[in-house]
Amino acid sequence: MEPVRYRVLHETRYDYGSPVSLSQQQLHLSPRILDWQQVEEQRIEIEPAPTWRRDGRDPFGNPVTWVAFHAPHDMLFIRSLMTVAVMPHRPKDLDDSLPWELVRDRLAYDATDPLPEDLDATRFLFESPHVRVKHELADYAADCFPPGRPVLLGAQALMAKIFREFTFDPEATTVSTPVLEVLESKRGVCQDFAHLMIACLRALGLAARYVSGYLLTRPPPGKPRLIGADASHAWVSVYAPGSQGELSDWVDFDPTNDLLPETEHITLAFGRDFSDISPLRGIILGGGGTEPEVAVTVVPLDEEAFPEEPSDPGADGE
């Protein structure tokens, strides 16, 4: 039960091409503190310095930073550096979870005497900007949830089905591709597979939330770890009351990799879908509309090489 400790570096750079006169941004770049995840260090560095900055919590309890820039600027550089310890937390036996129909009925509109945790879970039961609740999605998941199957076994079967039948293809979708289009094309990336699995579960009356974070990637044997070559990741958390004892009523599933997240997944935030917890979103007045450059590095603390000094935000002539 020893924790695995990581250093994570997440850098985002915008070169706007022309001056931005005003900007406001919301940052989900600080990891959550969970029963199985502790944050030992976390800091966010921003260039240019914002006019004002406020740190707080969003409606889902995630750490969030709000910043605003009231002076003209033609680039934005954000560096998030953290040290996180992650404990093993997978449930020991998926068979011990409640039958999926019982969980569904506990969350139903006409449920009698709902428990406080059930009421909280209903926030993740309905449609959201990137998740639809349609019969096509319930039909796709139906064979994974036969009568009486424990809810976590059903979720595991659905995860495996998506992994088996869908192709990872970074060119197939964008952040706005509808989930029904992903179901039809059977191609996408981790964000798409997470939205699809969530949509299928909600279509069956089960609560599921979108989780953002980082996944440890391993270099080929004999090759060094490449700094900045990793990326953000997304997976799914399913409401399964009582399945993890005192740890949580929610259990994570990663349909992109067909596994239950454990010590190699680092949780940043969770919400209804990607739109609630995008790492960086906001509005600008001016600029050329260029796409950001993002570099992520995840390194176990028992490895040596890790960049300690901030990258030069003026490297491109700023």
Domain boundaries, the chain: 4-87+277-300, 94-221+232-276
For 29, 185, 262, 280, the CA distances from 87, given in Å and listed in that order, are 20, 37, 8, 27
The b-or-e profile of 118-155 (16+ CB within 10 A means b, else e) is beebbebbeebebbbbbeebbebbeebbeeebbbbbbb
Is the model's pLDDT at 125 over the cut of 80?
Answer: yes
The top-scoring range by mean pLDDT among 107-111, 140-144, 298-302 is 140-144
pLDDT at residue number 313: 45
* Paired tokens of 128: 């959201």
Q: Which band of pLDDT confidence, cut at 50, 70 and 90, is reported for residue 227?
A: low
310 contact partners, CB below 8 Å, separation of at least 6: 45, 79
Segment 113-140 shows an average pLDDT of 94
**Measured distance CA(191)–CA(47) in Å, rounded:** 28
- The lowest-confidence range among 126-135, 201-210, 242-251, 272-281 is 242-251
pLDDT at residue number 127: 96
Judge if the upstream peptide bond of residue 300 is cis by omega within 30 degrees of 0.
no
**Measured distance CA(49)–CA(12) in Å, rounded:** 15
* Percentage with pLDDT > 90 across the chain: 77
The class level of CATH for 94-221+232-276 reads alpha beta
The class level of CATH for 4-87+277-300 reads mainly beta
**Measured distance CA(89)–CA(91) in Å, rounded:** 6
Is the model's pLDDT at 82 over the cut of 60?
Answer: yes
pLDDT at residue number 292: 87
pLDDT at residue number 113: 81
